[in-house]
Amino acid sequence: MIFDHNAVCRRAEVRETQGQEPLALGGQGLWAGVLSSGGCVLECAGQQEQVGAPGDLFLGRGGFGLRPLAPCHLLCVRLTGTAVEEFLRGLPGPRFADSAACPGAAELLARVCGADDPDDPANAAAEYGLLCALARADEEVRHLSPLVTRAVQAIRDNYMALYGVEELSAQLGVSKCHLVRVFSAEMGMPPGKYLTSVRIEAAKLLLAEREYNLEMIAGLCGFSGANYLCRVFKRETGLSPAAWRETAAPKAAVQKLPARNNEIYV
């Protein structure tokens, strides 16, 4: 039997809007998207309205709408297929989700939306990969302790200038050992790795813009220099920054860097 990726998970529709026009999402399958700037309300008959903030993902079966509270940018894709229907069985209703619960989903979403030909088998891996990345987004939002909440926000706000976990723990008024233990238990990774992941995602977005050279990207993302950026980027992604820029940079990248003013990173 020949495997038909279109029957399992395929891109059926892409929607993108910027401004204050409401967005109605219908049709069969799963809508998945990202609110990259601004704020909006998710509206669905029979459930309470939900307010989304910059960086939030949203997902749900067709039949809900998004109403901007201010000028905002929304990018979303409708996926269909047998794997998508299985995913939807465990999703009680449309909802927003913190992108920190599923790192990499926003990048995959941009890649899927930007693909020239959704029927090309080469794009099937990204479509199915996006569905897998969203698997954690349909879980209930984790209730983080005040310490970890402050640590996550400090990393997002100051990833460019933060020297490391020692400085972070001093800012939070706790020992490094205590911070690493609590952060790792609640986030599934130590704070140093979380900081690196935020910096790498920021570097990916800057790499999508050709006018930034590696030395400039390193400085903007908190790396000591271009050589160190290259080593860490290759270790974390399997590609050099130059190779990622040429072969993996999304054609429709979400233009939103990790915020340093209490916004959520995509």
Stated as kind and residue range, the H or E segment containing 226 is helix 226-237
175: number of CA atoms within 13 Å, CB side?
3
Predicted confidence at residue 236, as pLDDT, reads 85
Tens-place pLDDT, residues 240-261: 998 888 875 554 344 444 544 4
Q: Which residue has the higher pLDDT, 17 or 252?
A: 17
Phi, psi of 96 (to 5 degrees): -90, 155
Stated as kind and residue range, the H or E segment containing 175 is none
Q: Give the span between the Cα atoms of 205 and 249, in whole angstroms.
A: 8
Stated as kind and residue range, the H or E segment containing 14 is strand 10-19
Q: Give the span between the Cα atoms of 105 and 75, in whole angstroms.
A: 12
Residue by residue, DSSP assigns 18-55 as: EES--EEE-SSSEEEEEEEES-EEEE-TTS--EEE-TT
179, two tokens:
């911070």
Query: CA torsion sign, 142 to 170 to 219 to 233?
Result: negative
Q: Which residue has the higher pLDDT, 104 or 265?
A: 104
Predicted confidence at residue 256, as pLDDT, reads 47
Residue by residue, DSSP assigns 64-103 as: EEEEESSSEEEEEEEEESHHHHHHHHT--S-EEE-GGGST
Highest mean pLDDT among 27-36, 96-105, 145-154, 184-193: 27-36
Phi, psi of 32 (to 5 degrees): -135, 135
Average pLDDT for 77-104: 85
Query: For the whole model, what pTM was predicted?
Result: 0.54
Residue type at 10 in one-letter notation:
R
Average pLDDT for 158-175: 92
For residues 254 and 75, the answer to whether their CB atoms sit within 8 Å is: yes
Residue indicated by tokens 């050099």: 240
Predicted confidence at residue 140, as pLDDT, reads 46
Q: What is the largest CA-CA distance in the chain?
A: 61
Closest CA to 187 of 160, 150, 157: 150
Stated as kind and residue range, the H or E segment containing 16 is strand 10-19
Tens-place pLDDT, residues 57-86: 999 999 999 998 888 899 999 999 998 998
Residue type at 102 in one-letter notation:
C
Distances from the Cα of 241 to the Cα of 128, 207, 230, angstroms:
24, 7, 6
Residue 173 gets the label, from left (phi > 0), alpha (psi -120 to 50) or beta, of left
Domains and CATH numbers, the chain: 5-136 (2.60.120.280), 146-247 (1.10.10.60)
